[in-house]
Every structure is written in structure tokens, then in C-alpha cells.
Amino acid sequence: MEPRQSTLGAARAVPLRTRLAAAGARNGARLSRALGRGDGSTVGGVVARRIDPAALSHLAAHARTALVTGTNGKTTTTQLLAAALGTLGPVATNRLGSNMAEGLVTAFAERPTATLAALEVDESYLLLLADDLQPEVVVVLNLSSECTRGTMTSTVLEQWRAGLPHLDAACTVVANADDPLVAYALERRAGVVWVAGGGPWTQDSTQCPACHATMARTGHDWWCTGCDLSRPSAEWSLSQGAAVGTRGRVPLHLDLPGWWSRSNALFALAAADVLGVDLSAGAAALAGVADVGGRYRRFDLGSHTVRLVMVKNAASWTSACSVGGPEDTVVLAAEPFGVKDMAPLWDADLSDLRGRHVVAAGHRRADIALRLEMEGIAHSVISAPLDAVPAQAGGTVYVVANYTSFLDARQALA
């Protein structure tokens, strides 16, 4: 019998029960969206797994899969990787950041013809999901503290260190050589493709995770002063706006701001390379990504260009401070979000804002202003973030927003 929808063609080998589950996921997601209960990617997956508990491994069996994990950059890297893999064929991807089993089922259900998958997975579910999905590539971006999460950094770190060395030998791990915690987690894994991921965040690794001795640093190089743990040499790095790998160098023309986006692109290219993507074609595909679920959205306000950046933990607050150039303005905006809402800001390092045009905004502007004052960073204070825009001389206005402020912004711009 010919499948009713042509989209089921490639999925013919998928068991009937799984196909019904996938249809359930699509309908569940649609219903959830229609009811205004969110994007539906979680509900859809819940429905599918009720119908076929093994839906995920069945659906994934027909795709060459890459998993992306880490505290920061999962969603953006996944979207960049999906764009690069798109040069080879249809790609299943959890575009909305729904990164546990249910969201992954929905990602496959919504692209039944996909022969490739780029999926972000929650750090603490990585090993469990890798078991189900048998990925060809696992990208490990970074690991840092998130005080608003229930999961402890050290718990994830020990899970990774125990489990990552035992991933199937056919799976290639692409990992950040610049993050000592990632290197520690992968110390016993051979054949890792190391990437010079960069970044200013060192607070979670001022001391060695193995022996607690002080970590020494010069530039991005690092080594433990008490044991053998040191930075692995990286195959992939960024140099003068280009990604440099073992196969040569390819210029990056990204439409995403910040050093971290270039780093995310480097990981995406390294992972795409493992799956056989032509690097020039892959790099060209990355240039088409300008908005990741509302993050980095660009809009005009009067004569100014405004761009959103979402921050959620101390490491991302720290990174966001270097966004743009000296002529640009950085509006730090935060809305309430429970008792810990401003804790990440206090753990962050804001020193990159020194000498820049800085504005504190949102209902939590008193916290932001005091934080800036204590670091000796000149700034102005305003209630609503976009009220700061007209007064700026020129350049782009980056609104660096915490999660709730970002949601408000995305809703207002929808």
C-alpha cells in the first residue's frame, strides 16, 4: 500500500505503532498550539511516547544524528548545525529548544522524511538519550553553574566523566578544549575532535576538578598546577573571521552577534564535517541564520537598529557584555523571575562593559545599577528598556535581557 502522505515514504521501515505515535505527536502539538498552551513540542512527545514508548529510538534509527549539549549555546549551535546539515538533505531538529525526550520525538515526528538530525539535549539527559538515539556525533560545548536550575554542575560533570568515555566507538565527540570541565569529563575518551571554543568564563574552573589545585591560565591555554590535566590541542579554531580546521580554512559570514555565536558556528562546522558536509557549502548555510526562536531578533526603532540577546546564567551574562563594538549601546534589562532572579548577574563578570554605553533597565534595574556601580562602570538608568534607544547617538542597541525580560520583548515584537 502506498502511504497516504508522501512524507511517510522514507519512514516506511518504521513500525506502524511508531508511525501512529508520530502522528499523535504532530496532532498533540497542533492541539496544544491551537489552545495557546505553548509550542506543543513537549505535549506532542508525551502523546507519542504513550502510544509507543520506544518511539524515539525507532524514529531515530533512520537518521544520522548529531546531539548538541552544554550549559550555553545549545539552541544556537543546533540551529546552525541544522542549517549546515540541510545542504545534505532534510533535517529533523528541535528548533524551539525543547530538549528532553518528548521534544526530540516531536522533532522527528515533524520531519518524517529526515535522514539527518541536529538535536539539542539537556546536559543531564545526554547519556540517557545517546543510548536511545545512537548519535554519530555528540557536541559538548561547555559546562557552568546555573543557580536557577535544580541540577548541580558537579553532578552533571561526574555523570559525563563516567558515561562519555563509553559512548559507542562509532560516535565522534566534538568538544571544547578551552573548558577545563569538558576536558576533565572527556579525559578518558580517545579520538575527541577538540575545538578551541574560547570564552571569558573561568569561574567554575579556577580550581582543578580532579585535584582542587589552582588552575593556571595564559590566554585560552590552561593547565592544572597540581596534576596532569591540561588543555588538549585543538583541531578547530577561529582566526580572523574564519573557521580553521584540519581540512583548511573557511570564512564565516554570520548574521549573529557576539563571540559566542562565532564559537557556536565553529562547533557546528566541526560537527557537520564529521557528517560529510562540504565546508564552504556549510559555512554559506550558517550565514542564513539570523534569529534563533526570537533570540538575536533585529528590529528598527526610529533611526536605530535594536537587537535582542537573551541571558540566563552567570556565564552568559558575562559573555553578553562583549557584544557589539565600542559605538554600540548595551541595555541590560531584567524582569522579576522568583527569588533567585538576579543571582546570576552577581556571579557574572561585567568588566567588558567598562568604557561602553551602558543602560540599566527593567523592574530589576536597581540590582543592575548597583552591580555596575560596584564595578565602577558608568551607566544610565531607565524604566523600560526601549525608552533608552532614542537617546543613543548611533550604532546598534543591544538589549541584553534575562529570561522574563526576553519573553516580554518577544511577545511585544510578535
| Interface residue with other proteins, options 27, 115, 207, 305 (CB under 8 A) | 207
Rounded CA-CA distance 308/300 in Å is 12
- Alpha carbon distance 257, 297 (integer Å): 10
CA distances from 13 to 62, 94, 126, 199, 249 (A): 8, 23, 26, 44, 40
Measured between alpha carbons, how far is 101 from 93 in angstroms, rounded to an integer? 13
Total Cβ atoms within 10 A of residue 412: 8
Torsion 95-96-102-106 (CA) sign: negative
Using alpha carbons, list the distances in angstroms from residue 15 to 2, 51, 58: 15, 12, 8
Question: Which listed residue (5, 12, 147, 241) binds other proteins by CB under 8 A?
Answer: 147
Q: Is 404 in the site for other proteins (CB under 8 A)?
A: yes
Q: Binding of other proteins at residue 210 (CB under 8 A)? A: no
Q: Is 413 in the site for other proteins (CB under 8 A)?
A: yes
**Which of 4, 290, 348 shows the shortest CA–CA distance to 145?**
348
**Residue for cell digits 565546508?**
279
Which one of residues 72, 98, 172, 205 is an interface residue with other proteins (CB under 8 A)? 205
Binding pattern for the stretch 346-385 against other proteins, x by CB under 8 A and - elsewhere: xx-------------xxxx-xx-xxx-xxx-------xxx
Of 335, 353, 358, 396, the residue at the interface with other proteins (CB under 8 A) is: 335
Report the site for other proteins in 269-308 (rule: CB under 8 A). none
Nearer to other proteins, 35 or 216 (CB): 216
Minimum distance, C-beta of residue 346 to other proteins, in the bound complex (Å):
3
- Within 10 Å of residue 301's Cβ, how many Cβ atoms? 11
Among 209, 232, 258, 282, binds other proteins (CB under 8 A): 209
Per CB under 8 A, contacts with other proteins among 91-120 are none
# chain residues binding other proteins, by CB under 8 A: 52
- In whole angstroms, how close is the CB of 53 to other proteins at the nearest point? 31
Q: Degrees (nearest 5) of the Cα angle 143, 146, 152?
A: 75
CB of 234 closer than 8 Å to CB of 195: yes
Shortest spacing between CB 386 and other proteins, in angstroms: 3
Tell whether residue 199 is a contact of other proteins (CB under 8 A).
Answer: no
Q: For 24-84, list the strands marked E by DSSP.
A: 64-69
Out of 7, 27, 203, 305, the residue judged to bind other proteins by CB under 8 A:
203
CB closer to other proteins out of 190 and 412: 412
- Rule CB under 8 A: say whether 391 interacts with other proteins: no
Interface positions with other proteins (CB under 8 A): 145, 147, 152-155, 203-207, 209, 212, 214, 314, 335-347, 361-364, 366-367, 369-371, 373-375, 383-387, 389, 404-405, 408-409, 412-413
